[in-house]
Amino acid sequence: MPFVFVFIWSTGFISARLGMPYAPAMSFLAIRCALSVLCFLIWIGCSTGLKAIAWPSSRAQWLHLLVTGTLVQAGYLSGVWLAIKAGMGAGLTALIVGLQPILTALWVGLVSKEERVSVWQWAGLALGFAGLSLVVSGKLSVGLEVTPFTLGWTIFSLISITVGTLYQKRFVAPVDVRVGNGIGLAGAAIVCLPFALLDTAPMIWHPQLMLAMGWAVLGLSLGGSSLFYLLVQRGAATSVTSLLYLVPPTTAAIAWLLFDEHISLVTVAGTLLCALGVWFVVGRKNV
């Protein structure tokens, strides 16, 4: 399941590359979230029935799910999209957002002390970030792309997914993944809609945009987000977020297959470091 999650999550940047030229960021995200909620309702209705499934039993749990979805879906995705749309390179964006495993470990290990982060895990987090830096170094530039606007949105994205992950782990009780994701995406759609109404550029329903939207709903929301939800629900926050180190290398491999983007030896070396770092965090017996 973790490796399937990494593959699906990695296609998010590919989906953005396909759809971004034809759609304003917030309009795309609002429609994506709304369609995803509809698909989850259809999925539930066809498999168990909307009345037969166990829905959250308290208002507090509904609220927790709405907050989690707003942070992980609306906050994280809008920050990434708006930063890249405004000119920040995908490489630099990935590098900044790639700080998430370290922020998560700092919080759970040093601040909240909910989990024990071992020396080997700290070493793995450092190796993973070094590998991430190598992977994106070929696309890293810090010229005009770094403005208060783009940097602010990227940091907003980083904080949103970090806080959202920790919030889910702390407050969200185990629930059917379809219900949890459906409610969370509904919260994200509600937040994105007012901003989408402010978009001045039109949606151009080019086949490329429709392909991006279809995959964003069926692959990323129903598949990737559901796997992320399950992984956070069942695993340690530090271990789960360390998997995100593997996303940029996997994205580079997919871009090489689809768009013939060059993969250098530095990228390969960075990928190996990322994999080694994740093994230190997840696969090695922590001592």
pLDDT of residue 126: 84
Question: Does position 287 have pLDDT exceeding 50, yes or no?
Answer: no
pLDDT in tens, 31-44: 999 999 999 999 88
pLDDT in tens, 211-260: 999 999 999 989 888 888 888 877 767 777 778 778 778 877 877 787 77
Which of 158-172, 203-217, 231-245 bottoms out in mean pLDDT, i.e. has the lowest? 231-245
pLDDT of residue 16: 79
SS3 per residue for 200-243 = CCCCCCCHHHHHHHHHHHHHHHHHHHHHHHHHHHHCCHHHHHHH
Quote the tokens at residue 149. 């606007």
Q: Which helix (H) or strand (E) holds 85?
A: helix 76-85
pLDDT in tens, 263-278: 778 778 887 887 887 7
Report pTM: 0.81
Question: Does position 9 have pLDDT exceeding 50, yes or no?
Answer: yes
Cβ neighbours around 40 below 10 Å, total = 25
CA-CA distance, 153 to 176, in Å (whole number)? 32
DSSP characters for 46-62?
HHT-TTTS---SSHHHH
